Amino acid sequence: MRVLVKGVWSPLRVFHKLKPRLMSTLTPEEPAPAAPISRVAGQGKHLVITAEQTRQPLVTAATVTRVWQASPSVRCLTLAVHDPRVSFKGGQWVDLFIPGLEIVGGFSMCSPPRQLAQEGTLDLGVKYSKWPPALWVHEECKVGSEVHIRVGGDFHYPPSPLPQKEGDRGFSLPPYPLLLVGGGVGVNPLASMLFQIHSLHRLGVPAGGEVEGALPEGTKGAMLYSARTYEEILYKEELNKVAEEMSNFRVSYFTTREAPPNPSLATHGRITASTLSQAVSSLSASHPPLCYLCGPPCMSEDVSRHLQDAGVPRERILYEKWW
């Protein structure tokens, strides 16, 4: 992952560079988390890898109100968040404290921040694995289950503004074109960003207003999303709606194991250097795009290299690969 450090984009992973922002004192009605943020053997990879990322101080209860299968390997759940003070930016995740489990889960939101603000709920998409938090979601989670959550993460759109000098509130980045590149369940944080952009587009909310996450007027964007099979492409209906309703935003799917049905927005094959070069060329006007990558580490590294070869400055490539 890359973060803003001392006025520049750092190419180093966040957990090597920043001091941790840990949980502050909890209010009496809030139970303590299942585990502290420290490098304790057996606590689970999520807390270790994200120990030095930004976290909100608030831990709150949440109730599962819906559970559904989004693909053969991914189960989604909707959480009704009890405390209205909780908020997040598209791209962030939650620490998930599950009763009876010492290991704390970490899952990115796939819903837009606007959904939490308006309805008090957020959605998580969890791929099946034997990691205890994921296994609980797939085998034990049901409507009515109670958990606790805490929002965190430094990978979000828009990125944090940089202060010009001490005391400044910061300044907005130029209206860069936006390129989202996801692989598998790594689409979750990118979907959250895009669904926020889409929801504000439908409302006609201009960028730079009171609501964060709008795409600057006239700015182009694209999502390139790769999955093993067409059935494993998540949120197709919602993503297709974005492609239909936002003329300045293109969505393209890629399937690596099986050919997709015809017609569809999908292409059989991987996201190649040529694909990325064409995407950058189509988006670039006065600025190369701001790029967000989330997928398997090897994919993110390859995509980052290809984007730089296509003319995207290294400091304009942000990636999330902590699972």
> pLDDT value at position 16?
26
Q: Count the Cβ atoms, other than its own, within 10 Å of residue 135.
A: 15
> pLDDT value at position 299?
93
- Which residue reads 């974005």 in tokens? 242
Task: Beginning with the edge strand found earlier in the chain, give each strand of the sheet holding 105-108 in spatial order.
Answer: 105-108, 93-97, 146-152, 60-69, 74-81, 121-127
Q: Count the Cβ atoms, other than its own, within 10 Å of residue 213.
A: 24
Sign of the Cα torsion 40, 42, 43, 49 reads: positive
> pLDDT value at position 264?
83
pTM for this entry: 0.84
12 HSE (CA, 13 A, CB side): 10
Say if residue 67 is exposed, middle or buried (CB neighbours under 10 Å; 0-12, 13-18, 19+).
middle
Question: d(Cα 217, Cα 53) in Å, to the nearest integer?
Answer: 31
> pLDDT value at position 263?
82
> pLDDT value at position 190?
98
> pLDDT value at position 44?
64
> pLDDT value at position 36?
44
> pLDDT value at position 213?
78
> pLDDT value at position 35?
44
Cα dihedral: 249, 212, 280, 164 (round 10): 160
Which parts of the chain sit beneath pLDDT 50? 1-42, 162-165, 168, 170-171, 209-210
Task: Judge whether 123 and 80 are in contact, CB under 8 Å.
Answer: no
Per-residue exposure over 73-91, b if at least 16 CB sit within 10 Å of its own CB, e if not: bbbbbbbebbeeebebbbb
